[in-house]
Structure 1
Amino acid sequence: MELHDKEVQQLILFKSKLYEILMLENEHTTIIPKLLDLIKNEFTLKAVTIYLFDEWEEQFVPASSTLDLHKNEPRRTKISKEEIHILEFHTPNENNQVLVPMKNQENIIGFLLLDLQENQTTSKKLITTINEECTKVIDRSQKYTKFLNEELRYEKLFGLTAKFHSSMDIDEVLGEVILTLQKVYPSFKYYLLLSHDNVENENLPIKDLQYNNYDNSPAIQAYVTGDIQKEDIVVDQKSILYAPLKGKQGVYGVLEVIASGNIKFPNQEINFIELLANTAGSALENAQLYQQSKRLVADLQLINDTTHKLNSNLRLNDTISFMSGQISRYLLGDEVGFVFIKKDNQIEVLDGSTVYFSSDDSLQIIEYVRSRLIQERDTLFIGDFDYGSDNDADQESSVFRSIMAVPMVQSGVVIGFAIVLHRNPYFFSFETFKLFQSLIHHSTLAFSNSTLREELENLVITDHLTKLYSRNFLDDQIHLSMERDGFGTFLLIDIDNFKAINDTFGHQIGDSVIVQVANVLEANIRDNDIGARWGGEELAVYLPGVDLEIGIVIANRLVKKVQDNTTPQVTISCGVAHWSAEHKDSVQQLFHRADQALYIAKDTGKNKVVVQDLLIQ
């Protein structure tokens, strides 16, 4: 069918004005509305509506119209893809409407709905020509719009990548991911599904990965397989996309994107979100590796500083106090304890442990840890300690839920263990636990060295038989006292008739008698008094800061205690000497006076106390 002359004129004028619109219109989004207005006016139509394919809804929906689309006009709201094969050009329907498919060389890109005036007759050729012109404009507009949108989105992705490369902060990386998604898809909801060891930031939409119902969880599937997963929830009318945050070394979490309203994710949107998630995963991996390297450097520095300090010949108490402080400061433990296991399998909490380990409450945890370490011969790392099931202890007896314990091993033998406690469950990370292990392994040798050094010092200053101090140590301490104190009293003691005891009972009993007398002396003097073995069966006691009268009382008490508490029963003789800063004196003179007094005591009946004071001479 040929066009009428009037229709030819209408088409010429329509194409001319359409050309002007295309040449003069800068805003691409306004071309389609102006096109529809032009069609309506030039061809005296009642209304013109255009349907375009919505990839999210997978249907053709009204994209623009000369009518108010919100009013209840007699027209289609949507056209599904399934209807395309039955929708062809036809004559006006009962509403005097003509629906024409708009086809490019590949497929149908939309539909043109013409509302004719009442009794208006328009040839099929004219409608076909109008449709062809519209199709050209719409096709070009769609491609241009798609190009602009893609350019804008990838420009944002490029900017995001640049920010990723300039930042090694995990919070900042995740924040930029959410911000970019909010700009591209402002109506969607987003969540970052991360494991406990990653990051917890209240300003970010972070949720923990739920490992329950593994087979039914698309989020876990995405995390484990590294492939993007989709989930359509019909009841809630929403679609969810799970994109793994994937780096070269593994998957670090899952990005959850939620679209409501029966929306389904188009393939190109899925590809963009997947690309964004992969970019974020690589940035997250770099940030984590950077932070891990910084933490590793800090840990190595801590271990180096600690080892250097421990190698500075600290005493055992100082070593334990230093290590407790280091662990509390860097590992943030509430309580830190060091426990030695003695040869008789008894335990000893070392001085320098925190106060809690000196209380009875700590014994239950110490016993539990010891039994586990002996049984498993390995370290102990408990995130949420259950007192009810793991221990006979009352759950109210302690509030500590996180426990780390590392055995101290020397030459293959467990000589003790270190414990760190915290009140919160799952407080210590695995990295913290590994650092704790390294600290204890590096410090065990220092503990052993401190113990051996103190044992050696004790051997040097201690008499092997009586466990009293040696003669040399006694001499040194009296010299110091004469420089520091104002006065003091010295007791020189001899066991009466000791040769007869050896001859009668033997040397073993003789040694036992010496030990018994030494124990009586040790039990009846102060902690800062010095009991020593003078030589053979002679013993000595030095009382710093004790005047002569009190010294004589103590000497008499010792004489009586020895007679009452030895088997076989023995007696002692005691010579007492005193010094004072008011009179010129020396250690040798003090010893000489005490020796003279002892000689007099033994020569005048034994089992007595004799005083040879400086003022008497």
Structure 2
Amino acid sequence: MDLTKGQILYEDFIKELLLKMKSILAIDEASLYKYNEEKQHFYMEATTLALKNEVIKVKLESAIIQEKPENGCFFTHQKTLSGLDRFDILIPLRKENRLNRILCLKEKVPGILTNLGHDGEVLVKECVEVIETAHNLLEMINEKRRYKELFRVTEHFHSSMSMDAVLEKIIETLHRVYPNFSYYLLISHDNDNHGNLPIKDLGYDSENVAAMKAYVTGTIQQEQIEDRETVLYAPLKGKQGVYGVLQVIAPDTVTFPNNEIEFINLLAATAGSALENAQLYQQSKRLIADLQLINETSHKLNSNLRLSETMEFLKQQIIKSFHADETGLILLLPDGETGLITGSSDFFHTDASECYLQYLKEKINTDKESLFIGDLSLQLSDKKWEFHSLMAVPIMESNVLKGFAVVLHREPYYFSFEMFKLLQSLIHHSSLALANSMLREELEKMVITDHLTRLHSRNYLDEKIYQSMETDNQGTFILIDIDDFKKVNDTYGHQIGDDILVQLGKLIQANIRDSDVGARWGGEELAIYLPKVSLSVGVTIAQRLLERVRDLSSPRITISCGVSYWSNEAIDNAKDLFKRADEALYQAKNTGKNKVLVNDQSFYTFKN
């Protein structure tokens, strides 16, 4: 009979053999019981009766099972075994000197088997040998099948660099070898989503002592849950450590046979090595990606980008790499306050960010160290924090703290330590480029800024007017002169005269938009250009400025303004625009001062 298809055909074979014995020996019943050492129970493995599986509870030490009685007969008569006392003949089957089965025979006529003499003994002995051979053959086939599965899955492990694929193959193999068992993978500190795999977290506070012992010691563990099932814990162990524990649950099983324990242990060990290789491969890929990110960022930031472009690029790199909810690039100002660098997310422009910035400013100013916080609410429980995960890295230049970068996420423990180290490297390699961009913009600002009034230079004003006349449809130009400025200098001194220019510069900046241009025209003359602004609006702005200067200056001064205007409806140029404003200003100075005068190409409009 073919035994290669598993346990069911083996049982059919044994039952057929018992039926032959019953027929040849003319007995009433032949049954084969398998012994379970852990529970000390005999389980019916096959019988000639139409009975369901039977469990006989008997303690082995109370059974007197003789291998060869004094009369030389192989049969053993035993009436003291509870549950087996209906049989007349009990024949022990041993393996490695340990009882593993009992062949039980019930005579139709008392003494008929013993009367068969030597022939009967030989016949029964041959049947016993056939049973033992069938059982050994079945074990060899099952073991071959298990190790064939192990070989096949090992080949797959060596060809896979995916942790999910390795874990999936473990479960698939166990389901194929032990279809009636249940399996779980107990993984320590695992943040990844493994789809539908039966994965449980294995924490250090786990109540499962056997699982933790397997994880810590790296050795296989067993535990019995009442009388219902036995659980095996096999560590997934590589050369560098243990990556988790394989939990195998066997229902209606008291103990695992040694050969099955060995197979599961080998499978777990092979899987542990494969997991280690996959993890090392993923770590290598991540390291290469991190190095590429740092290299790309350093190369980009050192390509003479403007500060706004530098910050925007760095922000995008951080968002892409860390999937942060909010990203802030904070500048520490000389007065101790914080300023936002272009590229910070909108959250840092709101009042809700103040508590985060204040906490970070104090910590980083004091410690000059990076911060990696898994749950901010645990450290500062007195406040309700919207964002729990936080990473912050100081921006240093020549060992001087210039600011810091901060990333936030709502979920606690969202960022890994690898992410933290990457952010540190990213900011460290970017600090010089950031400092260079800031210095370059400061130098550019100095070039286009008058050092006294802090208004723009004449060259910058000219450039902006030329650009506006090429792209806009209209614009208004205001030329300003301080009335009797020589008298101010003679009366109060040149230092007060400079202070008057500074006051006027601040008043101009306070009364124009960011898109407007206030400039030092020369000496005590200043100018304003209002792109896309109509003449009427421009005159209103000039008049408002005149009134503010008259009311707020100290010592009190007045100004005169000449206003000119252009639109794309007439042929015009910057030189003529300047000339018309200068002519209007000259007229204002000569007709009483402290007034706004307009030269709109064809006429003068006077307004007090």
Return the TM-score normalized by structure 1: 0.85
Structure 1 residue 78 displacement after superposition: 5.0
Give how far 1:144 is off: 1.8
2: distance between equivalents of 1:267 and 1:71? Answer: 24
Q: Using the alignment, how far apart are the partners of 2:367 and 2:220 within structure 1?
A: 42
Q: Equivalent of 2:395, from 401, 408, 412? A: 408
Residue 431 (structure 1) aligned with residue 418 (structure 2): yes
Q: Does 1:535 align with 2:528?
A: no
Alignment match of 2:146 (pick from 132, 147, 153): 153
Equivalent residue number for residue 97 of structure 1 = 88
How many residues end up aligned between the 2 structures?
585
Aligned equivalent of 1:70, options 52, 69, 75? 52
Match of 2:61 among 79, 82, 88: 82
1:279-321 Cα deviation digits (max 9, x unpaired): 1111112222222333333333333333343334333233333
Within the candidate set 273, 286, 293, 1:282 is matched to 273
> Which stretch of the first structure deviates more once superposed, 534-543 or 432-441?
432-441
Distance in 2, Cα, partners of 1:82 & 1:156: 39
**Which residue number corresponds to residue 13 of structure 1?**
none
Q: CA deviation at 1:548?
A: 4.7
1:375 shift after superposition: 4.2
2:442 is the alignment partner of 1:455: yes
Matching of residues 204-603 of structure 1 within 5 Å: 204-212=197-205, 217-234=209-226, 237-261=228-252, 263-386=254-377, 390=380, 392-393=382-383, 395=384, 399-548=386-535, 550-579=537-566, 581=568, 585-603=572-590
Per the alignment, do residues 366 and 58 of structure 1 end up closer, same or farther by CA in structure 2, a change over 3 Å counting? Answer: farther
The answer on whether the counterparts of 1:247 and 1:278 sit within 8 Å (CA) in structure 2 is: yes
- SS of corresponding position for 1:450: helix
Displacement of 1:593: 4.2
- Alpha-carbon distance in structure 2 between the residues aligned to 1:497 and 1:249: 86
Kept in 1, the 8 Å contact 2:478–2:542? The answer is: yes
Q: CA deviation at 1:58?
A: 6.1
Report if the CA contact (8 A) 2:11-2:45 is conserved: no
Aligned residue identity for 1:463: D
Which of the residues 111, 116, 124 maps onto 2:107? Answer: 116
Task: Report the Cα offset of residue 437 of structure 1.
Answer: 3.1
Give, as a single letter, the amino acid of the residue that structure 1 aligns with 2:224: D
Asked if 2 retains the 8 angstrom alpha-carbon contact of 1:478 and 1:587, the reply is yes
Cα 1:114–1:503 change in 2 (3 A) is same
Which amino acid counterpart does residue 158 of structure 1 have in structure 2? Answer: F
One-letter identity of the residue aligned with 2:19: D
**CA 1:573/1:118 → structure 2, altered by over 3 Å: closer, same or farther?**
same
Alpha-carbon distance between aligned partners in 2 of 1:63 and 1:203, rounded to the nearest angstrom: 37
The answer to whether structure 1 residue 173 and structure 2 residue 166 are counterparts is yes
Query: Aligned in 2, Cα 1:109/1:513: closer, same or farther, shift over 3 Å?
Result: closer
Distance 1:134 1:57, change over 3 A: farther
Q: Deviations over 1:61-85 (max 9, x none)?
A: 432222234388xxx8255543466
- Offset at residue 567 of structure 1 (A): 1.4
Tell me the distance in 1 between the aligned counterparts of 2:574 and 2:511.
Answer: 24
Structure 2: distance between partners of 1:329 and 1:104:
65
Deviation readout 1:555-583 (Å, 9 max, x if unpaired): 34333322221112222333444445555
In the aligned structure 1, how far is the partner of 2:243 from the partner of 2:583? 86
Aligned to 2:73: none
CA shift in 2, pair 1:392/1:318, >3 Å = farther
**Which of 151, 156, 162 matches 1:163?**
156
The answer to whether structure 1 residue 34 and structure 2 residue 16 are counterparts is yes
Structure 1 position 435, deviation (Å): 3.2
Q: Deviations over 1:183-239 (max 9, x none)?
A: 22222221100123354324111100132167x7221222222122222333x6432
Deviations, residues 358-387 of structure 1 (Å, cap 9, x unaligned): 222222223233333334433333333328
Match in the other structure for 2:6: none
Q: Which letter maps to 2:523? A: G
| C-alpha distance in structure 2 between counterparts of 1:565 and 1:451, whole Å | 35
The answer as to whether partners of 2:43 and 2:53 remain within 8 angstroms in 1 is: no
* Structure 1 unaligned residues grouped into runs of 5+: 1-19
Which range moved further: 471-480 or 35-44? 35-44
What runs of 5+ residues in structure 2 fail to find an aligned partner?
Answer: 4-8, 70-75, 80-84
The CA distance in 2 between the partners of 1:83 and 1:198, in whole Å, is 55
Separation in 2 of the partners of 1:376 and 1:68? 83
2:29 is the alignment partner of 1:47 = yes
TM-score by length of 2: 0.86
CA distance in 2, matches of 1:21, 1:362: 76
- Partners of 2:315 and 2:215 in 1: CA distance: 40
Partners in 1 of 2:53 and 2:292 — Cα distance?
73
In the alignment, the residues of structure 2 paired with residue 80 and residue 53 of structure 1 have an alpha-carbon distance, to the nearest angstrom, of 11
Give, in whole Å, the separation in 2 of the partners of 1:614 and 1:562. 28
